[in-house]
């Protein structure tokens, strides 16, 4: 059994390394499957020995083997975060097809979180990938039924679409709308509403804490990043949070 956990962790690291590729290339409209990885400092081609997830960074002490430039801490952090998310999925859902679909969903949401944070865009391909994860979750069984998922697809995305139309696109971006439609199918309508509330709460806290630096000079809030984070929380804890809230309301 311990070997299974090690495999999940290592595979999560590998997928995390691929997420770094997506985060770098998708916003720049670069091909994903073509071209070699290279140092962003000197442009030198990186070989397999330079690209072992997490361990290459540790072995090279965070520097390029060829020019000595610092390697962004983002790369090992994303790899480790994804590996831990995969372990969490295995812990919550067991070694099941549902756990695999949930792990892939977490990887997609982590990618969206980073791309939207750094570039204020949510690529359509990532929304499509999240929808495919939702189909996987539905096919794996457990969780919301199909009706709840279909309601989740529209319960937040349609109001956001109306808000975008009424504001001429100023109040809400199209990427957020597509994200919530896809995520709604993954989570069902109850956890989709919870995701939106968590996203709004986390976004508000971030603005308050980071306004002196990150949100200075009129920088837009990357709402999709907080929706993605809220979606991860809802995936693992949504039913518990909703049950806790309802017990407070009913108990009151």
Q: DSSP code of 18?
A: H
Would you say 192 and 158 are in contact if contact means Cβ atoms under 8 Å apart? no
Question: Across the strands, what pairs with 38?
Answer: 45
Q: How many angstroms from the chain centroid is the CA of residue 102? A: 11
The H or E element spanning position 107 is: helix 97-119
Would you say 183 and 140 are in contact if contact means Cβ atoms under 8 Å apart? no
Would you say 178 and 157 are in contact if contact means Cβ atoms under 8 Å apart? yes
Looking at residue 224, its pLDDT comes to 93
Task: Average pLDDT across each block of 10 residues of the chain; the chain has 252 residues. List them in order.
Answer: 92 94 91 72 68 79 76 90 97 96 98 95 96 97 94 95 83 88 97 96 84 55 92 96 88 58
Looking at residue 57, its pLDDT comes to 79
Tokens of 143: 């969780």
Based on the number of CB atoms within 10 Å of its own CB, is 41 exposed (0-12), middle (13-18) or buried (19 or more)?
middle
Looking at residue 217, its pLDDT comes to 44
Q: Alpha-carbon distance 218 to 178, whole Å?
A: 25
Looking at residue 95, its pLDDT comes to 95
Per-residue b or e along 120-138, where b marks 16 or more CB atoms closer than 10 Å to that residue's CB: bbbbeebbebbbbbbebbb
Helix pair angle (146-155, 174-210), 10° resolution = 70
The H or E element spanning position 70 is: none
Q: Alpha-carbon distance 141 to 128, whole Å?
A: 20
């Amino acid at each position: 059994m311990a070997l299974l956990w090690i495999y999940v962790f290592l595979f999560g690291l590998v997928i995390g390394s691929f997420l770094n590729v997506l985060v770098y290339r998708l916003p720049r409209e670069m091909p994903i499957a073509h071209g070699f990885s290279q140092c962003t400092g000197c442009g030198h081609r990186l070989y397999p020995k330079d690209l072992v997830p997490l361990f290459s960074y540790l072995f090279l002490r965070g520097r390029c083997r060829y020019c000595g430039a610092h390697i962004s801490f983002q790369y090992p952090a994303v790899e480790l975060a994804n590996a831990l998310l995969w372990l969490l999925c295995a812990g919550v859902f067991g070694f099941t097809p549902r756990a695999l679909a949930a792990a892939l969903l977490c990887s997609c949401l982590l990618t969206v979180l980073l791309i939207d944070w750094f570039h204020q865009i949510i690529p359509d391909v990532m929304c499509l990938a999240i929808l495919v994860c939702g189909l996987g979750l539905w096919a794996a069984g457990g969780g919301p039924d199909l009706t709840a998922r279909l309601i989740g697809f529209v319960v937040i995305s349609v109001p956001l679409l109306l808000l975008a139309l009424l504001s001429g696109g100023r109040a809400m971006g199209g990427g957020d709308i597509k994200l919530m439609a896809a995520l709604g199918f993954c989570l069902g309508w109850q956890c989709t509403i919870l995701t939106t509330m968590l996203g709004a709460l986390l976004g508000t806290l971030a603005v308050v804490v980071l306004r002196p630096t990150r949100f200075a000079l009129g920088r837009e809030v990357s709402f999709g990043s907080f929706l993605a984070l809220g979606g991860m929380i809802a995936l693992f804890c949504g039913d518990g949070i909703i049950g806790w809230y309802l017990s407070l309301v009913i108990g009151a």
